[in-house]
Amino acid sequence: MRKKASMSFDDLLKELQEQRTNQEDASNLTLDKLFNESFMSEYTNSKSFREFLEKGNFQAWTQEDLVHIEGELLDRHVARETSFADWNTMLDKAKASI
């Protein structure tokens, strides 16, 4: 069995910075990219995130817009139209899938 080469401090720092950048990127993605067609077909009854929102009579173009939607209404729509119990669970899964 080969030993894993030890990582220098600079390499470790660079790797951690890249992980942080990737996490930050997920929060800056458009809704259509975050909830892509593959994600939507696997976890929801909709082909696109836009269709999902329209079924619930919601209008949102950005993640910021979603903050202004009443949480309980969105949670109920998510529970009805997806395999998730609530919005935060769905959002966390989408971010983890990126």
pLDDT tens track, the chain, 98 positions: 555 556 576 666 666 656 554 444 555 678 888 899 999 999 999 999 999 999 999 888 777 888 888 889 999 999 999 999 999 999 999 989 88
d(CA 78, CA 83) in angstroms, rounded, equals 8
What is the distance between the alpha carbons of residues 48 and 22, in angstroms, rounded to a whole number? 23
pLDDT of residue 13: 60
Task: With beta carbons less than 8 A apart as the criterion, state whether 29 and 21 touch.
Answer: no
The C-alpha angle with vertex 65 and arms to 63 and 66, in degrees rounded to 5, equals: 65
Task: Judge if pTM exceeds 0.75.
Answer: no
The answer to whether the CB of 45 falls within 8 A of the CB of 83 is no
- What pLDDT does 6 receive? 65
